[in-house]
Structure 1
């Protein structure tokens, strides 16, 4: 039986795993180039989770399920490192997500991918991987997670969590390589919001891409 564990460092909301990281862990169990992961329940931290038939379980509770994926949109265009750096300086995080491993401004041991607006429904942020963590599939999926969320309008008034993510990783960046994460808004339908993200290396080579469905939280969950 395959077992996965989400260390507490990799949280999204304070008491559950970052959606992109968890999805990337599960996607790493498959052979397809592109994988879709649907998150069904908040992923618990620091406990053994069972992998069976492409799905992730906490006991009998379904946490996430995976399948081969396909893309429906164009890849978000590259943004220069200089423009992404300026955009990130205007990042306005949300206290609700301040402890998130990927975008949390209160985290000293997180990725600190703090995406700010660059126009036309797009956001961008610089990211330089360091040697504190393995640069692997799960980390790449994490890096492509939150920029999509911050491309959504009204994230302060209508926060959203990742519902599903389709992604592929073409190449891994080197430790110390300046990268740029880009997020692009693709509209809403009811409580669902759609986004695409991409991660570019120092020479503007495409390292990975993703498409996402975000779920707006009910007002009672926000309060």
Structure 2
């Protein structure tokens, strides 16, 4: 039986999986099950509850989707999405690098353990993507940071030319939190509820990329954002759209 397993390294809050990494891991399983290994299709993953760490979750196929289970409870579902994923406009690497100093998470971070954006993670362990505010896109707030994938996120993967590249789950993780910080994560606690991502090429290890997030509006407890990863040549290698839901901080104490 196929299983989804989230090692503790890939946590968001201390006791649950990073939403982007978990969603990407399930998306990768769906791509393999659907004979869509490369190029990767756009996949939508809904996170129904905090993903448990170090637990083998059976993955159940249903029509054109997958569902990861923890006992009798569904943790996440994934399905291929035929719709076009929004592209966030690029930010120069110099501007993104300078913006990292103004990262709101340096002052207060709700989840410093987060694999993607946690300030409590060491280099080579977490991604340490620290997005700060940059110029707006059509009046909408944007954040950006640089990211150079470490060899540890390749997990032995090399492309046909022998280049080490980040895995699919790590690429989804890199697309995750930059969106939340472009939204209102610095004003209220939110968790990822749904993410759609399209990967054109996996980020190359050792090359500086630019990760950009875009606010797309809030309504009630819901916030929508988008994100993109650009390679050193200014090409989009991956993009995503997110739905975040505000939660009670006591539930994640």
Distance (Å, rounded) in 2 between the aligned partners of 1:156 and 1:51: 34
Q: Secondary structure at the match of 1:96?
A: coil
Q: TM-score, normalised by structure 1?
A: 0.95
Aligned length: 222
Give the 5 Å matches for 1:20-169.
20-31=20-31, 33-53=41-61, 54-71=66-83, 74-93=86-105, 94-108=108-122, 109-120=125-136, 121-134=141-154, 135-153=166-184, 155-169=185-199
Task: Name the CA shift for 1:101/1:222 in 2 (closer, same or farther; >3 Å).
Answer: closer
Is the Cα contact below 8 Å between 1:56 and 1:62 reproduced in 2? yes
Q: What TM-score do the two structures reach when normalised by structure 2?
A: 0.84
RMSD over aligned Cα, in angstroms?
1.5
1:113 match: secondary structure? coil
> 1:25 Cα deviation (Å)?
0.3
Q: After superposing the two structures, state which structure 1 stretch, 210-219 or 37-46, moved more.
A: 210-219
Q: Name the counterpart of 2:160.
A: none
Q: Secondary structure at the match of 1:30?
A: helix
Greater Cα radius of gyration, structure 1 or 2: 2
Structure 1 stretches of at least 4 aligned residues deviating more than 6 Å after TM superposition: none
Gaps of 5+ in 2: 155-165
Which ranges of structure 1 fall in alignment gaps of 5 or more residues? none
Is the contact made by 1:192 and 1:216 (CA closer than 8 Å) also made in structure 2? yes
* CA displacement at 1:130 relative to structure 2: 1.3
Residues 141-176 of structure 1 show CA distances to partners (whole Å, capped at 9, x for unaligned) of 0000000000013x2331111000000110012210
Please state how far the C-alpha of 1:15 moved relative to its aligned partner.
0.4
1:157/1:74 CA distance change after superposition, 3 Å: closer
Alpha-carbon deviation of 1:138? 0.6
**Are 1:213 and 2:213 counterparts?**
no
